[in-house]
A and B are shown apart, each in its own frame.
Chain A
Amino acid sequence: MISSNSAALTPLILLFMAISIPLVALKKKQIAFFMVMIATSISVIISFYNIFRVLKVGTIHYHFGGWIPPIGIEYVLDPLSSFICLVINVIALLVLIHSKKIVEMESKIKSVPYYALVLLMLCGFNGIILTGDLFNLYVFLEICSLSMYGLISVGEKQAPVSAFRYLIIGAVGSSFYLLGVGFLYMTTGSLNMIDVRSIVPHLYNEPTIIVAISLMVIGFGIKMAVFPFHGWLPDAYTYAPTTSSALIAPTGTKIGAYAMIRILFFVFGVNYISKTLHITDVLAWLSAIGIVYGSIMAISQKEMKRMLAYSSVSQIGYIGLGIGLCNPMGLIGAVLHVMNHAIMKACLFLVAGNYRVKLGHSNIFKLSDNIRKKMPWTTAAFTVGALSMVGIPPTVGFFSKWYLVLGTIKNSSWVFLAVLLISSLLNAIYFFRVLEKVYLKPIRSTNLEELNIPENNKRDEVSSSALIPVLILAIAIIVLGLLNTIIVKGIIDKMIPAGM
């Protein structure tokens, strides 16, 4: 029974646990965290099982309610969806192990509704990744978006205003996608992705199809935060609580990128969107501008979380550029960067969270000089993450940029190559600034005797439940970098759509 239903089990188990938490945790509030751990662990195990099954058997289809598509809704497990499902579930598990300490510490967060919203958001993510029906994607998109608005709004300072801005922009984005689905249904008469794929080639000159593609690209562009639509992202990531930013930043925008890949390459066809319509060219140019803009804005930030948020805008630009290049190397780079950026950003946001737990703030210029002695492991993890963001081998960050560079060389787009190289340099500037402050400044003190008192330099590291996920992510950055050929040849090579 598990093997025949395994395609749909991940969102269903997360949904079941999400709606049981308010009922079960009425009396004892500590049981909510325990249920979250059970739900995410089971999802990770099922995601691993799914990915091995897909590699052995091929694409798996699951029909809900027994109705055959195109009449019914189906879930599709192919290499792309099972890979991204695995990445998102594993990152969520590691961040939620870290979250126990944070949620206990912050007074504004009530743990029972917070964990229920977290599980609902993860259910929404899994649903978007696995579904093969266009309208079902809209429903799960709204589920995860509403949960994200709620998770961001319990932060500090201007968190409700940032969540409100994100709500207005996000509601417009989802509605644009729904309008695109409406146009597509009016001309093709079907809502199933594979069915539309077979009908669209007969309709290539209709203006309705062009409007449908434009609206869907704008809708997912807003969710993915490509350059002109990124306005909600810095405020939302900065003022959200630590667990929320560490959960949403690695995964939320990747869902938009996955949906963009699915709609552009698998529903409409590669030749149509790149040679007839040139939408991928527009996407590539906007992403290139976004890469440079994000890096420049990140250099001028004082607070670590805001710097990481602008850095996210820049990294999403890499993924957009990989999609926009529209050749196999570019797509491999984009999908590999989805995994790499998720691991790197989760590690960095958790490090910022650890600094907040111990020091009360994460302002770069106020970090005390002896933090390398007080929190050595955390700062080491930050160093590994920073080196990976710059792109130094053998960390993972280097390999995804390498594939993107190969993609730009194959297309002979030298402007994009220059953008990639310059942005690595800009990344180096703002990350090495933090490393210089932490590692290279000698410990100064007005009183010479204070330097020799051991208590001032004693280790004051965070507790192990907050430290172990950070270390696992940092080790994964190096290990997955060394193993990246296995990942690329094993699964990502199978994701290249027909016609590329």
Chain B
Amino acid sequence: MERKKDNPIVSLVSRTVSPFIMLFALYVIFHGHYSPGGGFQGGTMLAAAFILIRLSLGMEISQLQFKSRWATPLGSAGVLIYFGTGLVALLFGGNFLDYGFIPFSKVVAENRSIGILCIEIGVAIAVMAIIVSIYDDLLEGSSDD
């Protein structure tokens, strides 16, 4: 069954809803350590926002929002943010991933909170990039109809 080229309802609704999904995903990421949520959950929702545009508007138009060839480097960058937080903790005297040693403020508990937030952001970026990349690779050879 051929897809019709212009679907005004689908196109309008998905273009309107996608930024709100991204906003809610950011909420889920940032509230990870005292309510249900966290890096992986928020990252999946961010990926869902991008895949919604890819499904409803086609691959060419959605490259304007998120180019496919950014996916793998962005995934590596996310894991490097995670690794970098642990490395900062290592360089300032503690064990790997000991967030109490990050030199952000004098209160140790606040350092731990900042450390967890940084790694959650790293995880979210990595998960989003990789899930979008899996979707793109599965559809690599097929035509856009």
Contacts and interface: CB of A to CB of B under 8 A. Distances in A.
Direct touch of chains A and B (CB < 8 A): yes
Interface in A52-89: 62-66
A62 B95 contact: yes
Given A1-B90, A5-B90, A15-B83, A23 B77 contact: yes
B136 interface: no
A8 B95 CA distance: 9
Nearest to B82: A19
B78 to A, nearest CB: 9
Nearest to B115: A65
Interface in B54-105: 72-73, 75-77, 79-80, 83, 90-91, 94-100
B83 A65 contact: no
A20 B94 contact: no
Contacts of A19: 76, 79-80, 83
A22 B73 CA distance: 6
Given A1-B90, A5-B90, A65 B73 contact: no
A119 to B, nearest CB: 12
Given A15-B83, A16-B83, A65 B72 contact: no
Looking at chain A's contact residues, the main secondary structure is helix
A12 B73 CA distance: 19
A313 B70 CA distance: 43
Given A1-B90, A16-B83, A22 B96 contact: no
Contacts of B77: 23
Contact of A5 (B72, B79, B95, B99): B95
Contacts of B98: 64-66
Looking at chain B's contact residues, the main secondary structure is helix
A66 B73 contact: no
A26 interface: yes
B83 A64 contact: no
Contact of B76 (A23, A62, A64, A66): A23
A8 B73 CA distance: 26
Contacts of B72: 22
A442 B11 CA distance: 77
B76 A20 contact: yes
Contacts of A8: 95-96
Contacts of B100: 66
B96 A12 contact: yes
A65 B76 contact: no
B84 to A, nearest CB: 10
A302 to B, nearest CB: 36
Contacts of A65: 95-99
A23 B73 contact: yes
B79 A66 contact: no
A210 to B, nearest CB: 34
Nearest to A112: B72
B94 A66 contact: yes
A20 B87 CA distance: 14
Interface string A4-46: 0100100010011001101100100000000000000000000
A29 to B, nearest CB: 14
Given A19-B80, A19-B83, A26 B95 contact: no
B97 A64 contact: yes
A5 B100 CA distance: 17
Contacts of B73: 22-23, 26
Nearest to A65: B97
A293 B7 CA distance: 63
A22 B70 CA distance: 11
B95 A64 contact: yes
A20 B99 contact: no
A65 B89 CA distance: 9
A5 B76 contact: no
A65 B79 CA distance: 17
Nearest to B69: A26
B97 to A, nearest CB: 4
Contacts of A15: 83
A12 B83 CA distance: 9
B96 A64 contact: yes
A498 B83 CA distance: 38
Contacts of B83: 12, 15-16, 19
A22 B95 contact: no
Interface string A231-256: 00000000000000000000000000
B75 to A, nearest CB: 8
A23 B94 CA distance: 28
Given A5-B96, A63-B95, A20 B90 contact: no
Nearest to B80: A19
Interface in B120-135: none
B81 to A, nearest CB: 11
B39 to A, nearest CB: 15
Given A5-B96, A16-B83, A22-B76, 15 more contacts: A8-B95, A8-B96, A12-B96, A19-B76, A19-B79, A19-B80, A19-B83, A20-B76, A20-B80, A22-B72, A23-B73, A26-B73, A65-B95, A65-B96, A66-B95
29 contacts: A1-B90, A1-B91, A5-B96, A8-B96, A12-B83, A12-B96, A15-B83, A16-B80, A16-B83, A19-B76, A19-B80, A20-B80, A22-B72, A22-B75, A22-B76, A23-B73, A23-B76, A23-B77, A23-B80, A62-B95, A63-B95, A64-B95, A64-B96, A64-B98, A65-B95, A65-B96, A65-B97, A66-B94, A66-B98
Which 4 interchain pairs have the tightest Cβ spacing? A66-B98, A65-B97, A19-B79, A19-B76
